[in-house]
Structure 1
Amino acid sequence: MKKWIGIIITIVLMAGAGYWAYEKYKPQPEAPMEVPPPITFDVTQETMTQTILVKGKSVYTEQADVFAPYASSIKQWHVKNGDQVKKGDILFTLDTSALQTELDQMQSDLDKAKLDVEMNQISIDQAGMTETLGVTEEERKKAFADRESKRLANELSQKALVLKEKEIRKKQDVMSKAVVYAASSGVFQMNEGDSKTRAVTEGQLIGTITNTGKMKFLTIVGEEEMFRLKVGMPVQVRMSAQKDLKFTGTVSKVSKFARKSSDTDLKQASQFDVVIDLKPDARMYGGVSLEGDIETMRKDKVTAISSLAIMRDQPEPYVLMDKGNGQTEQVNVKTGMESGDKTEIVSGLKPGDVVVIP
């Protein structure tokens, strides 16, 4: 009896183990595949633009050089390096002592020359009153020659006086320029760091006045971009180092001549200079690297949609318009300009439509 009980228990245990193994390792039915929802795109009405990306540098457009009017030494500075000056402000004063001494000597020589001319004229006049005509022809000729010689010499002396007076006036004009004024408004920058009194030569560059309120953005474009540009196009500008700083500008010049470097190398594509006038902004500095988006085309109230929604595997572009309840309709569309990830829809759709990608 005990033997049969043991057999039955063994059979029950084996059956239970077999059932457990079956439940654990039996093939699982495949889960139903979830169909992802279609991707939808709204047809919108918006402003679309096309731009050209350019890179370059900012430069100051109004700079006035300051020169020494004559050789001397700077007697007094009225401004410091980096000062903001206005047109007409005194920049510096030159020493006039040497020039004044020269003028005094020239005036003294002129006065003496005038006195000599007057004395010679008196002598000529007196000689004319007491002169004898002479007895012989030779004596008369000699008297005439002496008289003409004195007259001509006095005329030459008078002409020399005129030249001396002109020289004096020139010197006086030069000395009147001893006080040097600012020809324009801006920031004054000395050509040399030393602002102490120093000797200068005539025409020496002393410094530069820069109008920091007027700057240009200089850039270069290729042949394809050049034909798309026109004077007056707006430009959105940013600093390459600080892209969060935004500025505005306008295209003021598009060169009609290629740069010299591209003329000599026939394998290199031609490049053209473009000048962009920047709107005054205290945050802008000269000589910094800039980037700009030149707006070459703008359309307002354009019917637009994401370019991804447009199918192009047929002769004509088309979209699948959402008809609701999972139904779609193929609609042929006519496209226009493209900007970024958007495409203009000229016909076939209207704002408010929904397009899907299955």
Structure 2
Amino acid sequence: MDKTKLKKRLKWIILLIVIIAAGTFGYNYYQQKQQIANTPIIESVPAKYISMKSVVSATGTIKPLESVEVSSKITARVKQVLVKENDHVTAGQTVALLDGKDYETQKEQAEFTLNNAKIKYDRTSYLYNIGAKSKEELDDAQYNYDTAESKLAEAESNLAETVITSPMDGVVIGEPVTDGTMAVQGNSNPTVIMRIADLSQKQITAKVDETDIGNVKVGQKATFTVDAYSGKTFTATVSKISQTDLDNSWNTSSSSSSSSSAAVIYYSVTLDVDDPEGLLMPSMTARVEIETANKDNALAVPLSALKTDSNGSYVVIVKKDGTTENRYVETGIYSDDNVEIISGLSEGEAVSVAMAKKTTKSNNNQRNSGPPPRF
């Protein structure tokens, strides 16, 4: 073989070796980049003692502690309303008058009937005593007299009901009815002449989710805000927890219960309000935070560090050499951002709070090669 052919063959061999070496280097470099890209970044924070407060959030409506709807026990036209909205009234104060002409007439008729029945009874009683009337006739006269007496008492009571008085000390809430309105009696839908409330004491009726109601107890303190006073915080105390949900779903049929099983269940919680300045008004919406637990010195980690499986709650301990260990823990109170660790963890131990992958720049084709990941 001549030297020219040998040199050409040698060049091709060297070129092939260079290509193979470059390919091997490129492949190994790509593998290393992929390995780095897929290597998790472990972010960790130390467990530390902090002050913690656990709260239950709810929304409610402000209402007076005591309020009444003043209506009439008789049907009559309103002759005169003697108070107006925001007037202070006292128990027993006359607040309205009804037209009592018909009831005055009924009283006069009842008085006449009673007098007549009394005369007949006295005469029958005299005749019975001398043997001129039977016992049955005396009993009938007695019955008529007693009936007339009852009718007069009823007529007097109806006439007295034309004077409407306040049943309590308080403030007139809203506009009363106008003069001339027909006040209709009734048990189901009587005419409300006016509303009176004691605004010195107020309450909040709040809706609490069933997942939180177990943490709420009578006597717990709460804070709340209203839209009318931006930036101002009011205080309240839990005074009552309803034993039935707001929809009374436990008392519905099985078919209704099954159809609404996915609905959120709420319970009514009543809170006594502190309002010494008298700023709050009935029907205002209150955004309430009930303090269910409070610790000044709790060993805590971020909520994002806590994980759960079939064996319970655990955290991922990050050791100084970078290795990790799953450690089961007992938890205490929860706040919006942290959870108390009662046992299983010591102060200063680092726990993983996030696991993320390193990202590298990619070309447009790589970015558009598929749909975004689902979490």
Task: Compute the TM-score of the two structures, normalised by the length of structure 2.
Answer: 0.61
Corresponding residue of 1:349: 347
CA distance in 2, matches of 1:85, 1:217: 26
Give a deviation string over 1:12-49, Cα, whole Å, max 9, x none.
Answer: xxxxxxxxxxxxxxxxxxxxxxxxxxx99898754211
CA contact (8 A) 2:60 2:285 kept: yes
Spell out the pairing of 1:67-82 with structure 2 (5 A cutoff).
67-82=71-86
CA distance in 1, matches of 2:273, 2:222: 10
Residue 108 (structure 1) shift: 2.0
Gaps of 5+ in 2: 1-42, 250-255, 307-313, 354-375
Give a deviation string over 1:71-101, Cα, whole Å, max 9, x none.
Answer: 3343443311332223232212334443233
Spell out the pairing of 1:264-279 with structure 2 (5 A cutoff).
264-279=258-273
Corresponding residue of 1:211: 198
1:91 aligns to 2:95 (yes or no):
yes
CA distance in 2, matches of 1:186, 1:171: 31
The one of 250, 273, 280 equivalent to 2:237 is 250
- Give the partner amino acid of 2:143: K
Task: Compute the TM-score of the two structures, normalised by the length of structure 1.
Answer: 0.63
CA distance in 2, matches of 1:276, 1:201: 33
Compared with structure 1, are the counterparts of its residues 201 and 41 closer, same or farther at alpha carbon in structure 2 (3 Å cutoff)? closer
Corresponding residue of 1:103: 107
Compared with structure 1, are the counterparts of its residues 239 and 47 closer, same or farther at alpha carbon in structure 2 (3 Å cutoff)? same
> SS in structure 2 opposite 1:74?
strand
Aligned pair count? 288
1:155 aligns to 2:139 (yes or no):
yes
- Give the partner amino acid of 1:295: E
> Based on CA coordinates, which of the two structures has the bigger radius of gyration?
1
CA distance in 2, matches of 1:154, 1:303: 92
Coordinate RMSD, CA, aligned: 4.2
Residue 160 (structure 1) shift: 0.8
1:234 aligns to 2:232 (yes or no):
no
Spell out the pairing of 1:181-192 with structure 2 (5 A cutoff).
181-189=165-173
Q: Bigger shift: 151-160 or 297-306?
A: 297-306
- Give the partner amino acid of 2:87: D
Give a deviation string over 1:128-180, Cα, whole Å, max 9, x none.
Answer: 5xxxxxxxxxxxxxxxxxx565x532431222112111221222233333332
The one of 334, 339, 346 equivalent to 2:335 is 339
- Give the partner amino acid of 1:219: K
1:177 aligns to 2:161 (yes or no):
yes
Residue 295 (structure 1) shift: 2.1
Gaps of 5+ in 1: 1-38, 129-146, 322-329
CA distance in 2, matches of 1:66, 1:250: 30
- Give the partner amino acid of 2:183: V
Compared with structure 1, are the counterparts of its residues 41 and 103 closer, same or farther at alpha carbon in structure 2 (3 Å cutoff)? same
CA distance in 1, matches of 2:203, 2:84: 23
Corresponding residue of 2:274: 280
> SS in structure 2 opposite 1:211?
strand
